[in-house]
C-alpha cells in the first residue's frame, strides 16, 4: 500500500478518516496507532520510498536521496548552523544514530510549571514509552559492536572520573557497521521505515510517497483535508495535483516544515506563536589525531554518551561521520587538506550537544519554503567553548597527539597545556562551526492558548479537526536526543483520538 510518485499517472483525489502529513517519528507512530485500531488512514511523505537494498556507503548518492535539500539546509545566524533532517519514508529515523532517551523528569516539571502541562508526568508517559521501546526495540549496544575508538573514549572518560553511559538505541542485534546516517543496510536499526510504517500498512493504511502538501484546507474553522502535488523524484517538479478530504488532519512534518505549512494555510496562528520559540540543540565537534591507527569508523555509531555535564547543558559522544563530510571542515586547503585526510584512520570525531538557552524563529518565505533564524547567546557560547575544552581533555587523555578545532583561527591544540587557548584566544561566535539535527518549539504545547499553538494532546487551539504531533510541539529544549519522546507523545495523542472518536472522527 505504499504508492510512489512514478506509480501515479493522473491527478489524485482521495478520502479517508485521518490524513497524516509526514512519515517520520511522529507520523509513523500515530499512523500505526490509529490504523491498527481500524481507522482509515492515509500518510503522505514528500520524500521517496527506499529500503535497505538501496542503502550504500556513498554520501554522494545517499545524501541527495535521503536528506532534505541534499543536506544543505542552514539555520541562519551568527554563526549559521548546518541542519540535517530526513526527507524519505521514515523521515529522520532512517538517517539518525538511533539514540533513545526518555525526557528528563526535571524537564516535565518545567512543562508543568511554565506551560501548565500538568497531565504530562513520568507516570502518565510511562506506558507510552514502554510501548514505543518495545516496538522499536530500544536496548543497550552489545559489546561486540563497539569500535576501538569507543573503548578508548570510555577508558579516558572513566579515568577522568566523568559519568559515561552505554547508549540506548533502537536496534536489534546491531553489528556496528557505522552506516546509520546513510540508512541501515541490514535493517538492524529499527527505524520507522521498518517498524511503524509496516505495522500501519499491514493494518490497511495507505502511504503516498513523493507527495508534497502545499495547503491544509479548511471550512468554518475546521480542517477538511489538503491540497498538494505528486512530484518527480529527480527534478522535484510537480507532476500531478493531489486533493484529499479527511475527517481529521494530523501534521507531522517537523518543527521547521510544519510552521511554514500552517502559516501558508493561514491556520493555527491566532496566538501569533506559530514559528516562534524555535530550539535546536546546537552542536560542536572536534577531531582527535592519534599516532596509532584507530579505524574509528569500524564500529557502532555513538555507543556511549557522557552525561557528567547534562546539568550544565552539555552532552558528549563520538559521532559516525563519513570522511568526505569531515574533510569539508578540516583546516587548510590543497595539499595540507589532503595530508590531513591521509590520516583518516588515525582520527576520532567527537561532538557535543548543547542545551538551548535562547529561542529563534521559523518564518515562511513569500514563495513558500521555511527559513529558520537562530542566534546563539552568551550562555550557549560559553557552553560551546567549555564543551570543546572538555572533549579535548578526553582526547588527550585517550592518547591523541593533536586535536583539530571547529574555529576559523584557532584550528588545533597540541597537548593538555594548549586547552586554555580555547578560552584565551578571543574566539568570536561567528567563528564557530556548528551543526544540528534536532528542532523543537515552533508549535509548542501550552495550556494557555495565548502562549502556545496546541494543547497537551497536540490539538490546534483555533482550528478543529487539526492536530500537530511532531517535535515542534515540545515546548523546551530536552538536552537529550528527542526521537523516543516524539514517538511517545504522538502515540499518546493517537490514544486520545481513539478514546474520543465521536469528537474527532465524525
The yes-or-no verdict on residue 324 having pLDDT over 90 is no
- Compute the distance between CA of residue 391 and CA of residue 387 in angstroms, rounded to an integer: 6
- Compute the distance between CA of residue 14 and CA of residue 27 in angstroms, rounded to an integer: 19
Peptide bond into 264 cis (omega under 30): no
Q: Give percent of the chain with pLDDT exceeding 70.
A: 99
Mean per-residue pLDDT over the chain, rounded: 95
CATH of domain 140-180+281-436: 3.30.410
Over residues 156-214, the pLDDT tens digits come to: 999 999 999 999 999 999 988 888 999 999 999 999 999 999 999 999 999 999 999 99
The yes-or-no verdict on residue 281 having pLDDT over 70 is yes
- Compute the distance between CA of residue 25 and CA of residue 192 in angstroms, rounded to an integer: 6
pLDDT on residue 327? 76
Phi, psi of 275 (to 5 degrees): 90, -15
Facing residues of 485 across strands? none
Confidence band for 341, pLDDT divided at 50, 70 and 90: confident
In the structure grid, which three cell numbers stand for residue 493, read together?
A: 495523542
The yes-or-no verdict on residue 334 having pLDDT over 70 is no
Q: Assign 150 to helix, strand or coil.
A: helix
- Residues 32/203, Cβ–Cβ less than 8 Å: yes
Q: Where are the domains of the chain?
A: 2-49+88-137+190-268+443-504, 140-180+281-436
Selected from 3.40.1190.20, 3.90.220.20, 3.50.50.60, 3.40.50.20, the CATH number assigned to the domain covering 2-49+88-137+190-268+443-504 reads 3.50.50.60
pLDDT on residue 278? 98
Over residues 67-85, the pLDDT tens digits come to: 999 998 999 999 999 999 9
Q: Assign 103 to helix, strand or coil.
A: coil
The yes-or-no verdict on residue 319 having pLDDT over 90 is no
DSSP-assigned states of every residue in 235-287: T--EEEEEEEEEEEEEE-S-TTHHHHHHHHHT-S-TTS-TT-SBB---EEEEE
Q: Assign 34 to helix, strand or coil.
A: helix
pLDDT on residue 506? 87
- Compute the distance between CA of residue 46 and CA of residue 75 in angstroms, rounded to an integer: 21
Q: Assign 105 to helix, strand or coil.
A: helix
Residue 35: CB atoms within 10 A of its CB come to 26
Facing residues of 11 across strands? none
Find, among 336, 382, 380, the residue nearest to 360 by Cα: 380
- What pTM did the predictor assign? 0.96
Confidence band for 135, pLDDT divided at 50, 70 and 90: very high
The yes-or-no verdict on residue 264 having pLDDT over 80 is yes
- Compute the distance between CA of residue 473 and CA of residue 445 in angstroms, rounded to an integer: 5
pLDDT on residue 332? 66
The yes-or-no verdict on residue 36 having pLDDT over 70 is yes
- Compute the distance between CA of residue 94 and CA of residue 190 in angstroms, rounded to an integer: 9
User: What number of helices (H) and strands (E) belong to the chain?
Assistant: 13, 22
pLDDT on residue 333? 61
- Compute the distance between CA of residue 495 and CA of residue 497 in angstroms, rounded to an integer: 5
Facing residues of 469 across strands? none
Q: How far is CA 186 from the centre of its chain?
A: 21
Q: Assign 91 to helix, strand or coil.
A: helix
As to burial, measured by CB atoms within 10 angstroms (0-12 exposed, 13-18 middle, 19+ buried), residue 243 is: middle
Phi, psi of 86 (to 5 degrees): -75, 150
- Residues 348/276, Cβ–Cβ less than 8 Å: no
The yes-or-no verdict on residue 368 having pLDDT over 80 is yes
- Compute the distance between CA of residue 56 and CA of residue 62 in angstroms, rounded to an integer: 7
- Compute the distance between CA of residue 397 and CA of residue 219 in angstroms, rounded to an integer: 63
Over residues 445-485, the pLDDT tens digits come to: 999 999 999 999 999 999 999 999 999 999 999 999 999 99
Amino acid at each position: 500500500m505504499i504508492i510512489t510518485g512514478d506509480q501515479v499517472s493522473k491527478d489524485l483525489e482521495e478520502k479517508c478518516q485521518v490524513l497524516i502529513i509526514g512519515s517520520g517519528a511522529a507520523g509513523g507512530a500515530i499512523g500505526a496507532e490509529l490504523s491498527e485500531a481500524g481507522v482509515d488512514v492515509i500518510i503522505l511523505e514528500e520524500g521517496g520510498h527506499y529500503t535497505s537494498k538501496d542503502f550504500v556507503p556513498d554520501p554522494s548518492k545517499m545524501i541527495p536521496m535521503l536528506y532534505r535539500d541534499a543536506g544543505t539546509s542552514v539555520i541562519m545566524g551568527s554563526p549559521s548552523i548546518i541542519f540535517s533532517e530526513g526527507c524519505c519514508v521514515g523521515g529522520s529515523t532512517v538517517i539518525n544514530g538511533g539514540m533513545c532517551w526518555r525526557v528528563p523528569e526535571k524537564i516535565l516539571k518545567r512543562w508543568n510549571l511554565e506551560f501548565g502541562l500538568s497531565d504530562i508526568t513520568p507516570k502518565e508517559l510511562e506506558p507510552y514509552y514502554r510501548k514505543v521501546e518495545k516496538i522499536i526495540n530500544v536496548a543497550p549496544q552489545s559489546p561486540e559492536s563497539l569500535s576501538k575508538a569507543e573503548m578508548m573514549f570510555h577508558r579516558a572518560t572513566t579515568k577522568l572520573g566523568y559519568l559515561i553511559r552505554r547508549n540506548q538505541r533502537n536496534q536489534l542485534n546491531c553489528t556496528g557497521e557505522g552506516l546509520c546516517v546513510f540508512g541501515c543496510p541490514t535493517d538492524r536499526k529499527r527505524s520507522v521505515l521498518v517498524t511503524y510504517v509496516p505495522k500501519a500498512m499491514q493494518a490497511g493504511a495507505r502511504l503516498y510517497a513523493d507527495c508534497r502538501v502545499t495547503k491544509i484546507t479548511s471550512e468554518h474553522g475546521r480542517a477538511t483535508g489538503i491540497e498538494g502535488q505528486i512530484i518527480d523524484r529527480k527534478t522535484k517538479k510537480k507532476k500531478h495535483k493531489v486533493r484529499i478530504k479527511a475527517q481529521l488532519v494530523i501534521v507531522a512534518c517537523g518543527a521547521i516544515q510544519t510552521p511554514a505549512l500552517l502559516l501558508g494555510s493561514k491556520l493555527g496562528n491566532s496566538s501569533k506563536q506559530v514559528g516562534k520559540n524555535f530550539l535546536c540543540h546546537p552542536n560542536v565537534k572536534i577531531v582527535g589525531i592519534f599516532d596509532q591507527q584507530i579505524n574509528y569508523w569500524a564500529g557502532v555509531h555513538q555507543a556511549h554518551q557522557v552525561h557528567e555535564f547534562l546539568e550544565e547543558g552539555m552532552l558528549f559522544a563520538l559521532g559516525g561521520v563519513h570522511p568526505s563530510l569531515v574533510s569539508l571542515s578540516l583546516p587548510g586547503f590543497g595539499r595540507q587538506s589532503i595530508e590531513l585526510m591521509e590520516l583518516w584512520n588515525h582520527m576520532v570525531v567527537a561532538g557535543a550537544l548543547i542545551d538551548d538557552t535562547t529561542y529563534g524563529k521559523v518564518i515562511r518565505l513569500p514563495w513558500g519554503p521555511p527559513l529558520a533564524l537562530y542566534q546563539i547567546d552568551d550562555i550557549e557560547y560559553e557552553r560551546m567553548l567549555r564543551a570543546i575544552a572538555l572533549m579535548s581533555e578526553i582526547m588527550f587523555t585517550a592518547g591523541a597527539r593533536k586535536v583539530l578545532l571547529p574555529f576559523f583561527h584557532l584550528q588545533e591544540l597540541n597537548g593538555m597545556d594548549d586547552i586554555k587557548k580555547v578560552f584565551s584566544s578571543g574566539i568570536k561566535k561567528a567563528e564557530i562551526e556548528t551543526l544540528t539535527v534536532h528542532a523543537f518549539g515552533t508549535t509548542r504545547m501550552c495550556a494557555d492558548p495565548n502562549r502556545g499553538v496546541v494543547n497537551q494532546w497536540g490539538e490546534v487551539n483555533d482550528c478543529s479537526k487539526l492536530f500537530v504531533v511532531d517535535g515542534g510541539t515540545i515546548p523546551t529544549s530536552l538536552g537529550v536526543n528527542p526521537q523516543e519522546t516524539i514517538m511517545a507523545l504522538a502515540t499518546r495523542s493517537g490514544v486520545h483520538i481513539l478514546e474520543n472518536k465521536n469528537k474527532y472522527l465524525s
